[in-house]
Amino acid sequence: MNFYVYLIITKRLNRYITYVGYTNNINKRLELHNSSRGAKFTKGKNWKIIFQKRFSSKSLAMKEEYKLKKNYKFRKQLKNKYLQKYAHSNITAL
């Protein structure tokens, strides 16, 4: 079974916030976040996946999730890259 580490983004007030997690079914997990049945932090928002990485075991995914949660610099780079790419589109519709 494959596991995924993911980074999702949403807009709150006038800034963008991110959330890191892991799952074995990324589409179902995103649906849970967007329907307010995911993590408490993600309730009531519209999230988009901006990064995902596949792992062959839950243990490896959990270790990578921990690293990504602590690596604020890399998370900021991913966020800025996403925002630059979609700056001309309707990003406020997050």
Tell me the pLDDT of the chain (94 aa) as tens digits. 999 999 999 998 888 999 999 999 999 999 999 998 888 888 878 999 999 999 999 999 999 999 999 999 999 999 999 999 876 555 454 5
For 34-42, the CB contacts below 8 A with 24+ separation are: 42/8, 42/10
Dig out the tokens for 52 from the structure: 């995902």
Dig out the tokens for 57 from the structure: 């075991």
Beta pairing partners, 10: 17
pTM of the model: 0.87
For 90-93, the CB contacts below 8 A with 24+ separation are: 91/11, 92/11, 93/46
